[in-house]
Structure 1
């Protein structure tokens, strides 16, 4: 398709900024791909700052709020109002809101006059039922979800289990499933596991919800003295994690190399991956691990874990914050025969960005036709 294909809908995206995060990474990669497919794509953001902006390329227009809107109390409400003013002045066919964090923007867009109101497509990026929530907290969350998304024309989830749950909460058939576009289109065959590798690789922001403290403590109890743990990522929890490493005398066996833009090199060195999160949406780190031919040990922090790890060859699932369970699962995978890398990679082919981006474009085309005045 040529650029600015008139057969495709014009797409707006609202993002608070381009901070390092899974939601921002996926949204920017999708935006770039939609533009390559010929769609007009414009991102309206509170701030243009952030490392993920570098993923956009040159075909996506970025408009920053004036004055800029920094993250903080009430900032998403302010961003919603600013976005509504912008898209009232420069209408688009569809506005895409990436992830749960951006849900509060939807009501302001829905309040626009009919002739300037875009179709609203909202993504569900995080699990809708967290084990940490009490019954009343869960009911309040579900009420808020229904309130914020009451006028959304489409709600996109990343798995069949999430679709079923979203439809139950919303009580209307506006939910569809489109896989997480965690992989590029270039198929790089997985490498064999190095014969002497005992490396366990974890990837993510160094923040409490990723559960790296539990992983370090579970690793400290491993009976395998040759095992190594590498946690790739950066964030505010680094000093606390470094303190845990020192307390358990794991210097030299546990390393925190910082943020890297591409984790494939680390995965190629690893025996297996670990995801000790306390909550996740659809975990890209597991998809990327399988694409590299590596099994994983992960917590049951999202229904997607069981969807991805459904055979012993794919890995083990443990409960959130179960240190003993994590230790046992890690050791079991280190002791098990090496899983077939090619078979693991084949499990996640549906997550290639090309077909996923086109599935979104087909959805947006239908929405723009259905909501046209």
Structure 2
């Protein structure tokens, strides 16, 4: 079968996990001979360069910036595009872009939609969860395949959609040339690293509170990322008397150099889909303490890979961090090997195989 022509619809090139995955997959598919086109509502955000020179980029005219009703306008513009331009398949990257799947359904082009965020959140409550599932069924009612990032999410998606069309393909969190892990440093005090957008649901306030419960000299907390909570988190650290032990380093383009300095990585979120940063931490050979916020914590079942604590339990989070810091460091190579299936090359091939199936 000839290499496919694949359309990816993105709102823009914002610095988000969904957008990063989509653009990296586009480049990987193009390298393997596929004709890949990204249709974007706006040429904003820093991720466009990741697509490389082999990916065609078409921008909506006039532009469609993010805002009220913008996803509906993006969906209409995408449908207008496929009305005159033929593609073998369409990739809908993540929950945020599902309205595009609804607009393109019935166009005759096979659609593969990705699940990027948690499908079942306890925080929603029963009524909101019912509404979410009803909307998901409506938006994805005419797609040919759904890709989830874990078997747990696959089973949830098939239940919600009442149709066994979901399949698991690993998150392409790692480059094929991802460097091998370095030895875990023996610095004193050890660095405990966390990363993400500084918003309440990422749990950084709880992490700082947990860190304050650790004895002086037991570690230094470094948080990389930016967001609206930055000043509040600094004030919290100061109020708890640990400002000298907490560093908010701001946004970084590449987390790997920071992981190389760390003894331990902590994911303290309230909920996550399948966070790339957890995979990146293990690929760097660093153990992880995580809240029970994502199916990706299954990766921590490997001996020495880390531990999982209950949501909302600050004391348990502090105890887990202290326990991991007291243990002998695990073998970094073993941790890295456990997530090798997240390399972009194998993931890109799995997607191309799926597109071949839905085309047939």
TM-score normalised by structure 1 residue count: 0.93
Instruction: Determine if the alignment matches structure 1 residue 225 to structure 2 residue 217.
Output: yes
Instruction: Determine if the alignment matches structure 1 residue 257 to structure 2 residue 249.
Output: yes
Equivalent residue of 1:342, what SS?
helix
Q: Counterparts of 1:128 and 1:355 in 2: how far apart (Å)?
A: 25
Match of 1:269 in 2: 261
1:332 to 323, 330, 347: 323
Q: CA deviation at 1:224?
A: 4.4
1:8 to 3, 16, 26: 3
Instruction: Determine if the alignment matches structure 1 residue 341 to structure 2 residue 332.
Output: yes
1:185 to 176, 189, 200: 176
Equivalent residue of 2:83, what SS?
helix
Alignment of 1:231-310 (within 5 A): 231-305=223-297, 307-310=298-301
* Residues 297 and 315, structure 1, Cα contact 8 Å, conserved in 2: yes
Alignment of 1:192-231 (within 5 A): 192-197=183-188, 198-231=190-223
Q: 1:311 to 1:36 in 2, by over 3 A?
A: closer
1:22 to 17, 21, 25: 17
Equivalent residue of 1:132, what SS?
helix
Q: Counterparts of 1:57 and 1:302 in 2: how far apart (Å)?
A: 31
Equivalent residue of 2:90, what SS?
strand
Q: Which runs of 5+ in 2 are unaligned?
A: none
Q: Counterparts of 2:131 and 2:216 in 1: how far apart (Å)?
A: 45
Instruction: Determine if the alignment matches structure 1 residue 82 to structure 2 residue 77.
Output: yes
Instruction: Determine if the alignment matches structure 1 residue 351 to structure 2 residue 354.
Output: no
Match of 1:139 in 2: 130
* Residues 182 and 353, structure 1, Cα contact 8 Å, conserved in 2: yes
Match of 1:66 in 2: 61
Q: CA deviation at 1:111?
A: 4.2
Q: Which runs of 4+ in 1 moved over 6 A?
A: none
Equivalent residue of 1:359, what SS?
helix
Q: Counterparts of 1:121 and 1:293 in 2: how far apart (Å)?
A: 33
Q: CA deviation at 1:245?
A: 2.0
How large is the Cα RMSD of the aligned pairs?
1.3
Q: CA deviation at 1:322?
A: 1.5
TM-score normalised by structure 2 residue count: 0.97
Q: Counterparts of 1:276 and 1:53 in 2: how far apart (Å)?
A: 30
Q: CA deviation at 1:187?
A: 4.3
Q: Which runs of 5+ in 1 are unaligned?
A: 1-5
Q: CA deviation at 1:246?
A: 2.1
Match of 1:93 in 2: 88
Q: Counterparts of 1:147 and 1:63 in 2: how far apart (Å)?
A: 28
Match of 2:352 in 1: 361
Count of matched residue positions in the alignment of Structure 1 and Structure 2? 359
Q: Counterparts of 1:180 and 1:32 in 2: how far apart (Å)?
A: 15
Q: Counterparts of 1:32 and 1:182 in 2: how far apart (Å)?
A: 14
